[in-house]
Amino acid sequence: METTMKALTPPMGWNSWNRFLDVNHRADFEATTEEAVLEQARALVDSGLAAAGYQYVVMDDCYQSFRRDYRGRLVGHPHRFKSGIKYLADEIHSLGLKFGLYAVPGTQTCAQQYFDYHGLDLGSLNHERDDAQAFAEWGVDYLKYDWCRAHINDGLSAPEAFKKMADELAAVAPHIVYSISEYGLFESHLWAPEFANLWRTTDDLLPHWNSVMRTLDQQVELHPYSKPGHWNDPDMLQIGNGTLTKAENRSHMFLWAILNAPLMAGNDLTRMSDEVLDLLKHPGVIAIDQDWGGSQGRLVHDLDGVQIWQKPMSTGGVAGVLLNRNDSVEHFDLLAKYSEFDSVVDVWSGESIDGASVGLDAHDSIMFTAK
């Protein structure tokens, strides 16, 4: 199956899930409404993030009605999505954006299982053809297909279950970017590139430093598997959420960019600080995320809590992130490490690094290019 014409660079956008969680990181069904999603879509445009490349508005779990309609079709919740999913897609398209939606290969979505939320039939199991057709009719541009209720998955293995939907999409809506998620349980990097544009490599990323570092550690050795049209997905951004500090947000953004990760913002775009906005839309950082120089970033230095993640750039030279994982200030002689290059530039400030050693606050990073 030919999927290489889609997602030639890592997809960028906003996803509702991290935003519409309650304080215990659990799904908040009431918060997921058509007006709330549209408010975020408008903010994506008004903030300049859309112009910076954030194109997709992905509505994650919790939009569904309690049960399918009389024809067995998936429908939006009647109170919270009064105008229907197609209306929402049309509105998002009229803003110049693209529309993404969530579904699962089992019988229940992930949020349903936590809440024991009504019927058993909201997943796409044995509805793959009808659901793919509905996505096509609604104008869906991006599908997040999430491995939920795996144990009631009709005996299909994960590759089979995900491929089944891929085949249906290929038949009726081949333009849909196909994002799969099995939390890295079944080594999807080995088989997903055949039919998916991106695959999750880990469990959910939570908005605190330990989770960011744990997720990062799970990306080691995954660099051979991504390429244009097919990306490792270390999960959606938590920048601006939870307990992440300024330094931690910055490290999170720089690291996801060096990994060529999909950049799906998950914060409240109507209320973000300038600091968060500046980080999400920094052109130099985004350019590195979107650049394909032959490999995503990999770990090239790891000593005493200081790491360097590095990738080749299509324009020559390399881009890297110097990360301080420690709780105290660290100094590192970056120029000595990159002495074979003519210049080393701090991507954030645009200035050359010429001091003998750079200082990094706890959990902070420097993103640099060396040429």
- As measured in angstroms, the least distance from the Cβ of 324 to ligand GLA is 28
Cβ neighbours of residue 299 under 8 Å, at least 6 residues apart? Answer: 220, 307, 308, 309
Nearest CB to ligand GLA, comparing residues 13 and 317: 13
Catalytic residue among 121, 130, 203, 204: 204
Q: Which single residue is written with the structure tokens 């995900």? A: 162
- As measured in angstroms, the least distance from the Cβ of 102 to ligand GLA is 6
| DSSP 8-state class, residue 150 | G
Mind giving me the DSSP string for 233-252?
E-----TTSTT--HHHHHHH
- As measured in angstroms, the least distance from the Cβ of 122 to ligand GLA is 11
Alpha-carbon gap, residue 108 to 106, rounded angstroms: 6
- As measured in angstroms, the least distance from the Cβ of 103 to ligand GLA is 10
Alpha-carbon gap, residue 180 to 192, rounded angstroms: 8
- As measured in angstroms, the least distance from the Cβ of 61 to ligand GLA is 3
Nearest CB to ligand GLA, comparing residues 71 and 151: 151
Whether residue 322 contacts residue 361, with contact meaning beta carbons closer than 8 Å, is answered with: no
- Reference 98, options 205, 7, 199, 197; nearest CA is 7
Whether residue 62 contacts residue 27, with contact meaning beta carbons closer than 8 Å, is answered with: yes
Edge to edge, what strands does the sheet with 344-346 contain?
298-303, 306-312, 318-324, 365-370, 344-346
Element at 358 (helix H, strand E): strand 358-360
Q: Is 53 left (phi over 0), alpha (psi -120 to 50) or beta?
A: left
Nearest CB to ligand GLA, comparing residues 89 and 110: 110
Nearest CB to ligand GLA, comparing residues 102 and 225: 102
Catalytic residue among 60, 131, 146, 233: 146
Alpha-carbon gap, residue 27 to 343, rounded angstroms: 47
Nearest CB to ligand GLA, comparing residues 15 and 307: 15
Nearest CB to ligand GLA, comparing residues 137 and 204: 204
CB-based closest residue to ligand GLA: 110
- As measured in angstroms, the least distance from the Cβ of 146 to ligand GLA is 5
User: What number of other Cβ atoms are within 10 A of residue 206's Cβ?
Assistant: 20
Read off φ and ψ for residue 191, nearest 5 degrees: -120, -25
| DSSP helix/strand/coil, 259 | coil
Nearest CB to ligand GLA, comparing residues 239 and 319: 239
- Reference 307, options 248, 267, 366; nearest CA is 366
Residues of this chain that interact with ligand GLA (CB under 6 A) are: 17, 27, 60-61, 102, 109-111, 146, 181, 204
Read off φ and ψ for residue 131, nearest 5 degrees: -70, -40
Q: How far is CA 65 from CA 108, 112, 199, 222, in A?
A: 12, 12, 27, 38
Told to judge if 204 belongs to the known catalytic residues of this protein, a careful annotator would answer yes
Told to judge if 346 belongs to the known catalytic residues of this protein, a careful annotator would answer no
- As measured in angstroms, the least distance from the Cβ of 226 to ligand GLA is 19
Alpha-carbon gap, residue 233 to 200, rounded angstroms: 4
Nearest CB to ligand GLA, comparing residues 148 and 358: 148
- As measured in angstroms, the least distance from the Cβ of 289 to ligand GLA is 20
**Residues carrying an active site annotation:** 146, 204
